[in-house]
């Protein structure tokens, strides 16, 4: 993902901290639209962390092939513990967006749960291009992340600021700015099918559909990289 970023050190306590701060809202948000995916054959979970959505996906789509792409080996270990070892339709890969370079129109579903906020600028543009190209036309994309803007309450802005500082110290996360996801997603030929907010509007889960291929290069407004915090 981002150069030198490593979430292995916090994998052991990630779920505990998330539960303390957000209760069950992180899990509820990222799992919300899982039942609205038609009948997918191939699913990509990009940055799935400790794997809370694995069991629901396997229950809903027992015949789908699920590719779990996660950059942290420790996170993958915790995710694997949630399933039986003999599950042949589940593939864990410790890797990054670079593993998607040659994946064109492969997946029926792409899921990005609280992962795109670690990218910034040209990095997030490139990651979104790879994810979009990997999704077949007519496929669906579930995106879940934090949404805080200039009009959000002060306590939400402070929470975002503290979270970014925490991950900078513990995981060497370089990006310290929450992206404007709407600007980035709207630069792709994606149709928004549904949206649900959680935790007092601080989190959103959006369901998109890819309705056509993209142009060779889509210009993204530079205001997408603007932030509340400096």
For residues 12 and 170, the answer to whether their CB atoms sit within 8 Å is no
Find all residues with CB under 8 Å of 60, minimum gap 6, and list them. Answer: 34, 35, 37
Query: What is the structure's pLDDT at 224?
Result: 47
Helix (H) or strand (E) holding 166: helix 154-171
Q: Would you say residue 157 lies in a domain? A: yes
Three-state DSSP at 1 gives: coil
Query: What is the structure's pLDDT at 4?
Result: 62
Round to whole Å and give the CA distance between 125 and 128.
5
Round to whole Å and give the CA distance between 222 and 76.
34
Burial grade of 59 (CB within 10 A; 0-12, 13-18, 19 or more): exposed
Domain tally, the chain:
1
Q: Would you say residue 12 lies in a domain? A: yes
Q: Would you say residue 1 lies in a domain? A: no
Q: Would you say residue 3 lies in a domain? A: no
Q: Would you say residue 2 lies in a domain? A: no
| CATH number of the domain to which 171 belongs | 3.40.50.150
Q: Would you say residue 85 lies in a domain? A: yes
Strand partners, 200: none
Q: Would you say residue 230 lies in a domain? A: no
How do 135-146 and 42-46 pair as beta strands?
unpaired
Query: What is the structure's pLDDT at 163?
Result: 93
Helix (H) or strand (E) holding 44: strand 42-46
**pLDDT tens per residue, the chain (230 residues)?**
444 678 999 999 999 999 999 999 999 999 999 999 989 999 999 999 999 999 999 999 999 999 999 999 999 999 999 887 778 899 999 999 999 999 999 999 999 999 999 998 889 999 999 999 999 999 999 999 999 999 999 999 999 999 999 999 998 888 888 999 999 999 999 999 999 999 999 999 999 999 998 875 444 444 444 444 44
DSSP 8-state class, residue 96: -
Q: Would you say residue 184 lies in a domain? A: yes
Q: Which domain holds residue 41?
A: 8-225
């Amino acid at each position: 993902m981002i150069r030198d970023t490593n979430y292995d050190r916090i994998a052991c306590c990630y779920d505990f901290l998330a539960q303390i701060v957000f209760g069950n809202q992180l899990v509820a948000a990222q799992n919300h639209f899982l039942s609205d995916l038609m009948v997918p054959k191939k699913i990509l979970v990009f940055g799935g962390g400790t794997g809370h959505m694995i069991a629901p996906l396997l229950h809903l789509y027992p015949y789908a092939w699920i590719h779990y792409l996660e950059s942290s080996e420790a996170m993958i270990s915790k995710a694997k513990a949630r399933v039986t070892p003999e599950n042949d339709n589940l593939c864990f890969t410790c890797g990054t967006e670079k593993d998607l370079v040659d994946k064109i129109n492969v997946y029926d579903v792409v899921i990005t749960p609280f992962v795109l906020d670690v990218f910034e600028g040209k990095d997030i543009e490139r990651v979104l291009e790879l994810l979009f190209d990997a999704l077949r036309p007519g496929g669906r994309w579930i995106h879940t992340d934090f949404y805080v803007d200039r009009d959000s309450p002060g306590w939400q802005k402070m929470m975002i600021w503290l979270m970014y500082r925490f991950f900078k110290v513990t995981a060497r996360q370089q990006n310290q700015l929450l992206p404007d996801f709407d600007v980035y997603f709207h630069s792709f030929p994606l149709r928004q099918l549904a949206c649900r907010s959680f935790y007092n509007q601080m989190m959103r889960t959006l369901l998109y559909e890819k309705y056509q291929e993209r142009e060779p290069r889509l210009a993204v407004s530079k205001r997408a990289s603007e932030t509340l915090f400096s």
